[in-house]
């Protein structure tokens, strides 16, 4: 197992390029199940979750070939409709194979996704939606078994906007008989990217990016090529890194319009942000002002940026109130941030962060993906050396983050953690 050693206190400067989006790539890879043939996906990030998705597809009989950031997926000869526990438990998004397998084979057997540190994360809304399309669903031995001779379009109203649930239903409805309407659908940019590739395959999907999506089922889909959108959470993490170190960086290959909620809050905190020729410049202030945030479904403040923003507020002037409204257990980073000397108290889903003059380097342990990022940010701003261990979480979602940060002038190295 690896750990990161970070000597904090360096102002970041220079240029960094954002990789393709993890959260867009996963459903995009999985949607190739729907269309037999060879697909070509570009701007794919090198991540552990991508490797897991490839293993899931290979287990189903797909042939996958990657060169650089381009991955070719041949789904001509799929010969299994089962995704097993050993793979699905390591990555929640692999449960998305349920809808496309059901659509292609009339049956699917998929392990329930593994418990994750940030909350219970049920899939009841995925299953309710698939049942509304006519699937017969049973839960046995930890597996979801679904059957349907032919899925039929339906009107589905989600109790709450679910990103995975919306993606699951987009895929299941694409080749169902008749029309499907998804109401209270998730509006995240990753949903738009997902609908884009499905439409390139011949699907008829309108309204992705709004809360009502209309899908007219087609007889079959064909293979296609697609370039994955930039990772907005990676981009947002670099924005916070510049802010916390009083840095001045230029971020390439990012969509600032995907990060409005974060950008406005950063500006309220005193950060300067400008966008010229699609290069976003972020300049940290001398003194950060405290700002309150509430996480919400898109276009609200993203839960995937809550931990990083909390790290920023640890060194702001005054007190900040942070409410987490998406996941019930997404404050695992708090106890680790305290090790840097932060002043944070938690009550229910609300954390109150009182800014301190400085953070001091400390040994800390990452508990989940975005928590890992928040610890790296705190370490970059701290006055001495920190060690961040258990960074395998980080490798699920950030491509070469230590190399990218080192390129911006951070003193950060990855070493083997002999104690693990
Ligand atoms: C791979 C991927 O894209 N992951 C993202 C996706 O996760 P994911 O798709 O798992 O998150 P959802 O949008 O589904 O979850 C939102 C809320 O709905 C609840 N819920 C969801 C489904 C369901 O069947 N029942 C139910 O109650 C969840 O517990 C949570 O409270 O969106 C989250 C919210 O933006 C992000 O944090 C994750 O990074
Ligand atoms: C929670 C996340 O991902 P996942 O849904 O894959 O666990 C994330 O990207 O922050």
**Residue 373 to residue 387: CA distance in whole angstroms:** 13
Which residues does a 6 A CB cutoff place in the pocket of ligand 2? 23, 92-93, 116, 118, 304, 369-370, 397
Q: Is 92 one of the annotated binding-site residues?
A: yes
Give pLDDT, residue 116: 61
- Shared domain for 242 and 123, answered yes or no, is no
**116, 137, 279, 406: the active-site residue:** 116
Whether residues 89 and 50 fall in one domain: yes
Count structural domains, the chain.
2
d(CA 164, CA 196): 16
Q: Are residues 255 and 134 in the same domain?
A: no
Other CB atoms closer than 10 Å to residue 150's CB: what's the count?
12
Can you say how many angstroms the Cα of residue 237 is from the centroid of all Cα atoms in its chain? Answer: 12
Cα separation of 146 and 199, whole Å? 25
Q: Which domain-ending residue is among 227, 244, 265?
A: 227
CA 402 to chain centre: 19
Output the CA–CA distances (angstroms, integers) from residue 292 to 209, 235, 261, 287, 328, in the order listed: 26, 21, 12, 16, 19
Helix (H) or strand (E) holding 238: helix 232-244
In a shared domain, residues 339 and 295? yes
pLDDT at 115: 56
- Kind of pairing between the strands at 279-283 and 38-42: unpaired
Q: In ligand 2, which atom is closest to the CA atom of 370?
A: 10
Per-residue confidence (pLDDT) for residue 347, from 0 to 100: 98
The pLDDT, as a whole number, for residue 240 is: 99
Place of tokens 């258990």: 390
Q: Are 163 and 250 contained in the same domain?
A: no
Predicted-complex ipTM score: 0.99
Q: Is 335 helix (H, G, I), strand (E, B) or coil?
A: helix
Please tell me whether 296 is known to bind a ligand: no
Q: Which ligand has the shortest distance to the CA of 26?
A: 1
- Integer Cα distance of 7 and 418 in angstroms: 20
Residue range(s) defining the domain that contains residue 117? 22-227
Q: What is the DSSP letter of 354?
A: E
Q: Are residues 97 and 177 in the same domain?
A: yes
Residues 280 and 164 in one domain: no
417 among the known binding-site residues? no
Say whether both 199 and 320 belong to one domain. no
- Which H or E run contains 5? strand 2-7
Q: Does residue 275 have a known ligand-binding role?
A: no
Residue 308's domain is classified under what CATH number?
A: 3.65.10.10
Q: Count the Cβ atoms, other than its own, within 10 Å of residue 102.
A: 26
For residues 98 and 146, the answer to whether their CB atoms sit within 8 Å is yes
Q: Residue 46 CA to chain centroid, in angstroms?
A: 14
**With 0-12 CB in 10 A as exposed, 13-18 as middle and 19+ as buried, what is 118?**
buried
Task: Out of 227, 251, 276, pick the residue that ends a domain.
Answer: 227
Q: Assess whether 32 and 144 both reside in one domain.
A: yes
For residue 274, give the 3-state DSSP assignment. strand
What lines the ligand 1 site, CB under 6 Å? 23, 26, 92-93, 119, 121-126, 160, 162-165, 186, 190, 303-304, 326-327
**pTM, full prediction:** 0.98
Asked whether 110 and 101 are in contact (CB, 8 A), the reply is yes
- Write the residue with the smallest CA distance to atom 10 of ligand 2: 304
What count of Cα atoms within 13 Å lies in the side-chain half-sphere of residue 289? 11
Mutate to test the pocket of ligand 2, among 23, 234, 398 (most ligand atoms within 8 A of CB): 23
Per-residue pLDDT of the chain (420 residues; tens, 9 = 90+): 899 999 999 999 999 999 999 999 999 999 999 999 999 999 999 999 999 999 999 999 999 999 999 999 999 999 999 999 999 988 889 999 999 999 999 999 999 987 567 888 999 999 999 999 999 999 999 999 999 999 999 999 999 999 999 999 999 999 999 999 999 999 999 999 999 999 999 999 999 999 999 999 999 999 999 999 999 999 999 999 999 999 999 999 999 999 999 999 999 999 999 999 889 999 999 999 999 999 999 999 999 999 999 999 999 999 999 999 999 999 999 999 999 999 999 999 999 999 999 999 999 999 999 999 999 999 999 999 999 999 999 999 999 999 999 999 999 999 998 876
Task: Please tell me whether 357 is known to bind a ligand.
Answer: no
314 is catalytic: no
Ligand nearest to the CA of 327: 1
Residues 247 and 222 in one domain: no
Task: Give the torsion sign (CA, 52, 57, 62, 68).
Answer: negative
CB atoms within 10 A of CB 400: 15
Q: How far is the CA of 114 from the centre of ligand 1 (A)?
A: 14
Residue 71 shares a structural domain with residue 214: yes
Q: SS3 for 18-61, per residue? A: CCECHHHHHHHHHHHHHCCCEEEEECCCCCHHHHHHHHHHHHCC
- Do residues 166 and 185 touch, judged by C-beta distance below 8 A? yes
Neighbouring residues of 51: CB distance < 8 A, sequence distance ≥ 6: none
Instruction: Using most ligand atoms within 8 A of CB, pick from 31, 121, 294 the residue to mutate for ligand 1.
Output: 121
406 plus 304 within the same structural domain: yes
Domain boundary among 197, 227, 257: 227
At 234 the three-state DSSP class reads helix
DSSP letter for each residue of 119-172: B----HHHHHHHHHTT-EEEEETTEEEEE-SS-B--EEE-SS--HHHHHHHHHH
């Amino acid at each position: 197992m690896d750990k990161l050693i970070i000597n904090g206190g360096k102002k970041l400067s220079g240029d960094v390029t954002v990789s393709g989006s993890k959260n867009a790539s996963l459903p995009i890879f999985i949607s190739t199940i729907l269309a037999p043939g060879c697909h070509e996906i570009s701007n794919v990030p090198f991540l552990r979750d991508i490797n897991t998705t490839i293993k899931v597809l290979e287990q189903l009989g797909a042939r996958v070939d990657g060169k650089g950031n381009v991955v070719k997926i041949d789904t001509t000869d799929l010969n299994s409709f089962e995704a097993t526990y050993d793979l699905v438990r390591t990555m929640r998004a692999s449960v998305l194979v349920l809808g496309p397998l059901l659509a292609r084979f009339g049956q699917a057997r998929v392990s329930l996704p593994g418990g994750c540190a940030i909350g219970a994360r049920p899939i009841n809304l995925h299953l309710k939606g698939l049942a509304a399309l006519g699937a017969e669903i049973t839960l046995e031995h930890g597996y979801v078994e679904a059957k349907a001779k032919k899925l039929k379009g339906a009107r589905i109203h989600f109790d709450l906007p679910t990103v995975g649930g919306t993606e699951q239903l987009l895929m299941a409805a694409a080749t169902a008989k008749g029309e499907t309407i998804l109401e209270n659908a998730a509006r995240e940019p990753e949903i738009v990217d997902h609908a884009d590739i499905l439409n390139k395959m011949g699907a008829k999907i309108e309204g992705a990016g709004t809360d009502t999506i209309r899908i007219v089922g087609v007889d079959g889909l064909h293979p296609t090529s697609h370039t994955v959108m930039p990772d907005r959470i990676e981009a947002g993490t670099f924005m916070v890194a510049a802010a916390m170190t009083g840095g001045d960086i230029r971020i390439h290959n990012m969509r600032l319009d995907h990060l409005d909620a974060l950008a406005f809050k950063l500006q309220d905190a005193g950060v300067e942000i400008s966008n010229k020729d699609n290069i976003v410049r972020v300049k940290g202030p001398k003194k950060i002002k405290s700002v309150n945030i509430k996480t919400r479904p898109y276009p609200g403040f993203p839960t995937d940026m809550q931990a990083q923003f909390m790290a920023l507020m640890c060194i702001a002037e005054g007190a900040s109130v942070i409410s987490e409204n998406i996941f019930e257990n997404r404050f695992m980073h708090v106890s680790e941030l305290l090790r840097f000397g932060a002043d944070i108290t938690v009550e229910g889903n609300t954390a109150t962060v009182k800014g301190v003059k400085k953070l001091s380097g400390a040994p800390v342990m990452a508990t989940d993906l975005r928590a890992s990022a928040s610890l790296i940010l705190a370490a970059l701003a701290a006055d001495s050396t920190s060690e961040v261990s258990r960074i395998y979480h980080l490798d699920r979602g950030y491509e070469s983050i230590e190399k990218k940060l080192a390129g911006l002038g951070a003193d950060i190295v990855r070493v083997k953690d002999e104690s693990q």
